Structure 1
Amino acid sequence: MSLPLNTSSTPKAENAYRVMVVDDSAVIRGLLTRMLENDPKVSVIESVSNGEIAIKRIATLDVDVVVLDIEMPVMDGLTALPKLLEAKPGVQIIMASTLTRKNAEISFKAMRLGAADYIPKPTSSGELTKADDFKYELVEKVKALGRVARTARHAPLPSGASATVAKTGAAGQSPAQSPAGKAADPIRRTTGGLYANKEISLRTTAIARPDILAIGSSTGGPQALFDVLGNLGVVSQPVVITQHMPATFTALLAEHIGRISQMPSKEGEDGEAIRGGRIYLAPGGYHMVFEKKGTDTIIRLNQEPPENFCRPAVDPMLRSLSKIYGSHLLVLILTGMGSDGLRGSEVVTTAGGSVIAQDEHTSVVWGMPGAVATAGLCSAVLPIKEMAAHVRQLVLRSAA
């Protein structure tokens, strides 16, 4: 069934992002709607109880973002997903589910089928009502992906919203495959210049032989990580990753990376010495930092306060690595909303290390990579399909 539109007392910005909520629980739909409607740049225009109704309704509505539950009667979210994308090309879909391994597996599959992101729901309506972190994440993801949808079709943004972090093509697509139909200028991509309406200056200092590769990512990150690590082959350096994800998801992500990569992959463990040719992922709920102990680099996990609203966060990882590796640290900042990784990258470049950012055209959200790129911290700003080859070239050339 379809619920009446929410009537919110929050004054709405002109051209507020338009959202459909799909969940079989009327209570949950109401809670999600109220959370979203409290933001002036978000308007919930439809609320329905299953995927079948959503498909019928979306064809007649101007919708930017769908928040789609996974487990529903009549038609579940995974079945509805491709049909929604076919009925409304360009709509951005966030999968929502309780935090179980089964639902995490389904969420990964959904992202491979075209979902833009996922959000883990608290297990009960009582927990949901009190979950401030969930409210923040939900609203911010809806707004970030709303910008994506609007920018792709050149539609106006809500009053005061910026378009500089939104993409015009799907993550992992080459520029030629992008709905925008035009490739990014390769000269500007590699040498700086005007990019995303901002001037980018690239660092031209020589890159020392990397002794470790660190990667930070968020929204759209799993697919970007699969692309980079699936094409990187075996390298002699350790690879350490902070991806914004909850615990069940990070364990599963490490397994998926291990399947597509030629290197072993696992969640990092406190006190573990990292080794070359292996991949270590920060566990959900913990910052992963590093310390030197004799000749070993040791993982330290902590639950210090979130940074940039995230735990794990990229910044503490980069700060700790910079102290150990200095100019021999190579950092990749991949797709993600917000600016986590910016302050850490400043520390990295000050110590002589190098930073490469994913370009806007292939990022789901050009927040994190856009922040480091426009701050002038990068030695290169590259499409995701070029990253693995570029890293291998740096390692092999520097080692020669």
Structure 2
Amino acid sequence: MVIATQAAAQPSGAVTDPIRVMVVDDSVVIRGLISRWVDADPALAVVASHRNGKLAVDDIERSNPDVVVLDIEMPEMDGLTALPLMLAKKKNLIVVMASTLTRRNAEISLKALSLGAQDYVPKPESSSTISTSVDFRRELIEKLKNLGPRARPGAGRRPMRAETVAGKATAAQPAARQPAFQPRPHFTLRSYSAVRPRVLAIGSSTGGPQALQVLFRDIGPSIGDIPVVVTQHMPPTFTAILAEHLAKAALRPAKEADDGETLVAGTIYVAPGGKHLVLEKDGVNTRARLTNDPPVNFCKPAVDPLFDSVAKIYGSASLAIVLTGMGHDGAAGVKTVAAAGGSVIAQDEKTSVVWGMPGAAAQTNQCSDVLPLDDIGPKVVRILGGRR
């Protein structure tokens, strides 16, 4: 089966203005640092900088940002309070939460995602370490460029059921900001394995927390006979809280994986932030192993090592899913799963916050389906029930 997708051609003289960025943080040092990083990239431009949420909310209409970097803890009005007020003033505004790695801030960041923020970026603990953090700078700039309007030609993507994806472009977001026409690659699909899956492995990144909750609400009643392993690109602390949220969504036990523990059917295991999760065969059992190997595709945890280990143990009884996310992590693992006879489903472009990882997976030509998020869960339920 051949899938052909192609964007509508843009006028040859289309404007490619920089993505407009607002920086909101109570630290003058951090505001200045982030602003310099943003302005150093020709694809980005700072249009406003504020010390609290109230000033930012009051300035949304005047400065008209495309993306806001929003701190959580600020005087007068914090980030969580400011978020819905910002989105009310500009429906298609993209907000990236910024917070240090405390449990409270992780909880608030995940709450912000459910209220309409598109992503989060963890800040180093102090201003002095932020200035020397290459990883923080790289991650922040990458997310601003990928989530900004120039990187999102489908500004009117169909919302996820969780209502966390920005709505359609408005008059305040000119069509001229769309990128020049670029043909998208064709891809082919392969047949599903005839073997009923004995494991479900999932990889996700940007937009993943929201997508995972939608997916697990759908598949929770049907995963009692298999273990589920998840790698979501997240830092420590965040992954423990994500597991708690997935448990509520699926009505199944969910936890960060522990090194050496035996996988139990009906349980969801999440790769801890800062560690790779791989599986290891031990007689009739399968164990989780956490490794401190270097990052893969700039990620730790990474999807590729998990998928590779799943394919090695379960072969044609493997079922893998690649959800929304930046980059191409998981694409190599998709090939490994397919080569072992397993099946792979990728999320489609329209419902992905960023069609990086699932797009790379689709373009391996080794996926069995490329589906909207709302269709993935029902499909998985049918597959686990022995139907296709």
Please tell me whether residue 227 in structure 1 is matched to residue 206 in structure 2.
no
1:311-350 CA-to-partner distances (Å, cap 9, x unmatched) read: 0000001111111011110001001011100011111111
1:256-290 CA-to-partner distances (Å, cap 9, x unmatched) read: 11112121100000001101111000000000011
Q: 1:250 to 1:33 in 2, by over 3 A?
A: same
Please tell me whether residue 239 in structure 1 is matched to residue 228 in structure 2.
yes
Structure 2 equivalent of residue 23 of structure 1: 25
1:352-367 to structure 2, matched below 5 A, reads 352-367=341-356
CA shift for structure 1 position 150: 5.1
Of 331, 336, 345, 1:347 maps to 336
Moved more, 137-146 or 198-207: 198-207
Please tell me whether residue 332 in structure 1 is matched to residue 327 in structure 2.
no
Structure 1 equivalent of residue 368 of structure 2: 379
Structure 1 equivalent of residue 244 of structure 2: 255
Structure 2 equivalent of residue 80 of structure 1: 82
Q: 1:352 to 1:150 in 2, by over 3 A?
A: closer
CA shift for structure 1 position 33: 1.2
Q: 1:254 to 1:205 in 2, by over 3 A?
A: closer
1:36-93 CA-to-partner distances (Å, cap 9, x unmatched) read: 2232211112111111111121102232110000111111111110111111121110
Aligned-residue CA RMSD in angstroms? 2.1
Q: 1:178 to 1:38 in 2, by over 3 A?
A: closer
Please tell me whether residue 216 in structure 1 is matched to residue 203 in structure 2.
yes
5+ unaligned residues in a row in structure 1: which ranges? 1-12, 154-166, 182-194
Q: 1:148 to 1:95 in 2, by over 3 A?
A: farther
Q: Distance in 2 between matches of 1:263 and 1:77?
A: 32
5+ unaligned residues in a row in structure 2: which ranges? 1-14, 171-181
Please tell me whether residue 199 in structure 1 is matched to residue 201 in structure 2.
no
Q: 1:329 to 1:272 in 2, by over 3 A?
A: same
Structure 2 equivalent of residue 293 of structure 1: 282
1:120-143 CA-to-partner distances (Å, cap 9, x unmatched) read: 111111110111111111010111
Q: Distance in 2 between matches of 1:256 and 1:111?
A: 12
Secondary structure of 1:75 counterpart = coil
Q: Distance in 1 between matches of 2:23 and 2:135?
A: 19
What's the TM-score, normalizing by structure 2?
0.88
Letter in 2 for 1:283: P
Q: 1:384 to 1:48 in 2, by over 3 A?
A: same
Secondary structure of 1:289 counterpart = strand
Secondary structure of 1:197 counterpart = coil
CA shift for structure 1 position 205: 4.8
Paired residues of 2:91 and 2:167 also in contact (CA < 8 A):
no
Letter in 1 for 2:145: K
Q: 1:56 to 1:104 in 2, by over 3 A?
A: same
Paired residues of 1:291 and 1:297 also in contact (CA < 8 A):
yes
Paired residues of 1:151 and 1:168 also in contact (CA < 8 A):
no
Moved more, 256-265 or 274-283: 256-265
Paired residues of 1:27 and 1:125 also in contact (CA < 8 A):
yes
Structure 2 equivalent of residue 93 of structure 1: 95
CA shift for structure 1 position 386: 1.3
Q: Distance in 1 between matches of 2:322 and 2:260?
A: 26
Moved more, 226-235 or 292-301: 226-235
Paired residues of 2:235 and 2:274 also in contact (CA < 8 A):
yes
Q: Distance in 2 between matches of 1:364 and 1:150?
A: 9
Letter in 1 for 2:138: Y
Q: Distance in 1 between matches of 2:317 and 2:198?
A: 5
Secondary structure of 2:57 counterpart = helix
1:235-271 CA-to-partner distances (Å, cap 9, x unmatched) read: 2110000000011000010111111212110000000
Of 310, 315, 338, 2:304 maps to 315
Please tell me whether residue 266 in structure 1 is matched to residue 255 in structure 2.
yes
Paired residues of 1:171 and 1:364 also in contact (CA < 8 A):
no
Q: 1:144 to 1:33 in 2, by over 3 A?
A: same
Letter in 1 for 2:20: R
Moved more, 279-288 or 318-327: 318-327
Letter in 1 for 2:202: I
Paired residues of 2:21 and 2:68 also in contact (CA < 8 A):
yes
1:211-237 CA-to-partner distances (Å, cap 9, x unmatched) read: 100000000101111011111114211
1:90-169 to structure 2, matched below 5 A, reads 90-147=92-149, 151-153=153-155, 168-169=157-158
Q: 1:109 to 1:217 in 2, by over 3 A?
A: same
Letter in 1 for 2:236: A
Structure 1 equivalent of residue 73 of structure 2: 71
Structure 2 equivalent of residue 159 of structure 1: none
Q: Distance in 2 between matches of 1:273 and 1:26?
A: 49
What's the TM-score, normalizing by structure 1?
0.85
- Aligned-pair identity (%): 52
Equivalent pairs counted in the alignment come to 359
